[in-house]
C-alpha cells in the first residue's frame, strides 16, 4: 500500500512538472532583422507619439562627469487643453539636489525651485510670457523641458534623409500564448560628426512605451503613458502661490 502511494505521488509530481514546463513554453521570443517595413512602422509610431495631446513622459538620465554622476528625473504631463506640468529633480555630482516644478500653457509660465529637500521654494514665479525677459514662448518651454529629446533623435536616426548611418537594426518579438505582447527594436548608429550610440525602442499596441538611449557618457530612459492628461488643467496665479509661496 505504501509503495503504491509513493508511485502515485511520484507520478503526480512528474505530471505537475511537465505542466509547468508547458506553461513556461507559452512565453516565447522571436528575433529578426529589421526591414524597411519595420522602419516605416517605427516612423508612424514616432509621429503618433510626437503628435499626442495627452500623455505622461518619465525621463531618467545619468551622465558621467569628471566629478561624478549627475542624475536627472523628469515627469512631464501634457494635458488635453495644451497645459503642461512638470517636475524635474537633479542630483549633482556633489550630492546636492534641486527640484523644479513647472506649469505652462499658451498664456502663462510658472516655475518654482526647491533646494536640497526644503519644504519652501527658493524661487517661485508666475507670469505671462509678455512679462518675461528673453521672449520665452510655450514652444520654447516644451523644448527646454527636454522630454522629447530622445524621440527626436530616434526620428532623425530613422529618417530617410538622415545624416545618421544605422550600423545595426534588429528586433525581438515577445509572445504569450502565440499573441504579440510587445516588440523591442534595437538600433546602433553613427553620424558624420562622429557621434555614436544605441537606441532601444519598446512598442506595444502600435505605440511606443519606452525608449532607452546610450550615447557617450549619457544613459537615458523614457517611459510613456498615454491618455493620462485627458482632463483639462488650469492653474491660476493664486493657486500657484498657495502651493509654491514666493520667498
Count helices and strands in the chain by DSSP H and E runs? 5, 12
Within a domain: 11: no
User: Residue 230: which CATH number?
Assistant: 2.50.20
- pLDDT (0 to 100) of residue 227: 85
Contact 166/34 with Cβ under 8 angstroms?
Answer: no
Within a domain: 16: no
C-alpha cell at 220: 537615458
Within a domain: 19: no
Q: How many domains does the chain have?
A: 1
Give the relative orientation of helices 149-158 and 36-51 as an angle to the nearest 10 degrees: 150
- pLDDT (0 to 100) of residue 15: 44
Contact 45/37 with Cβ under 8 angstroms?
Answer: no
Q: How far apart are CA 164 and CA 189, in angstroms?
A: 6
- pLDDT (0 to 100) of residue 4: 47
Within a domain: 161: yes
Containing 7, the helix (H) or strand (E) segment is: helix 2-25
- pLDDT (0 to 100) of residue 5: 42
- pLDDT (0 to 100) of residue 229: 64
pLDDT in tens, the chain (247 residues): 444 444 444 544 444 444 444 445 589 999 999 999 999 999 999 999 988 889 999 999 999 999 999 999 999 999 989 899 999 999 999 999 999 999 999 999 999 999 999 999 999 999 999 888 777 888 888 888 888 888 999 999 998 777 899 999 999 999 999 899 999 999 999 987 778 999 999 999 999 999 999 999 999 999 999 987 668 899 999 999 999 999 9
The two beta strands, 108-115 and 179-191, are unpaired
- pLDDT (0 to 100) of residue 14: 43
The residue written with cell numbers 553613427 in the block is 190
On the CB side of 225, CA atoms within 13 Å amount to: 10
Within a domain: 17: no
- pLDDT (0 to 100) of residue 192: 78
Within a domain: 18: no
- pLDDT (0 to 100) of residue 25: 53
Contact 53/80 with Cβ under 8 angstroms?
Answer: yes
Contact 171/193 with Cβ under 8 angstroms?
Answer: no
Q: How far apart are CA 191 and CA 53, in angstroms?
A: 31
Contact 145/84 with Cβ under 8 angstroms?
Answer: yes
- pLDDT (0 to 100) of residue 26: 80
Write down the pTM of the prediction: 0.84
Q: How far apart are CA 31 and CA 100, in angstroms?
A: 42
Domain that holds residue 71: 27-243
Within a domain: 126: yes
Within a domain: 198: yes
Full DSSP string of 167-181 = EEEEEEEEEETTEEE
Amino acid at each position: 500500500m505504501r509503495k503504491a502511494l509513493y508511485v502515485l505521488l511520484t507520478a503526480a509530481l512528474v505530471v505537475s512538472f511537465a505542466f509547468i514546463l508547458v506553461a513556461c513554453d507559452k512565453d516565447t521570443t522571436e528575433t529578426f532583422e529589421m526591414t524597411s517595413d519595420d522602419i516605416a512602422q517605427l516612423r508612424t509610431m514616432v509621429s503618433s507619439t510626437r503628435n499626442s495631446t495627452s500623455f505622461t513622459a518619465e525621463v531618467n538620465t545619468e551622465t558621467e562627469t569628471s566629478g561624478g554622476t549627475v542624475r536627472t528625473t523628469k515627469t512631464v504631463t501634457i494635458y488635453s487643453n495644451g497645459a503642461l506640468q512638470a517636475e524635474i529633480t537633479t542630483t549633482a555630482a556633489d550630492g546636492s539636489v534641486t527640484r523644479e516644478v513647472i506649469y505652462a500653457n499658451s498664456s502663462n509660465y510658472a516655475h518654482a525651485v526647491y533646494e536640497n529637500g526644503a519644504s519652501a521654494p527658493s524661487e517661485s514665479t508666475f507670469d505671462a510670457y509678455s512679462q518675461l525677459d528673453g521672449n520665452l514662448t510655450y514652444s520654447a518651454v516644451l523644448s527646454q523641458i527636454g522630454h522629447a529629446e530622445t524621440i527626436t533623435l530616434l526620428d532623425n536616426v530613422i529618417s530617410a534623409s538622415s545624416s545618421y548611418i544605422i550600423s545595426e537594426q534588429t528586433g525581438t518579438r515577445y509572445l504569450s500564448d502565440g499573441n504579440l505582447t510587445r516588440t523591442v527594436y534595437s538600433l546602433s548608429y553613427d553620424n558624420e560628426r562622429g557621434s555614436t550610440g544605441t537606441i532601444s525602442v519598446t512598442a506595444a499596441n502600435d505605440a511606443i512605451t519606452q525608449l532607452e538611449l546610450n550615447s557617450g557618457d549619457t544613459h537615458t530612459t523614457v517611459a510613456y503613458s498615454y491618455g493620462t492628461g485627458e482632463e483639462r488643467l488650469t492653474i491660476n496665479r493664486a493657486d500657484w502661490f498657495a502651493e509654491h509661496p514666493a520667498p
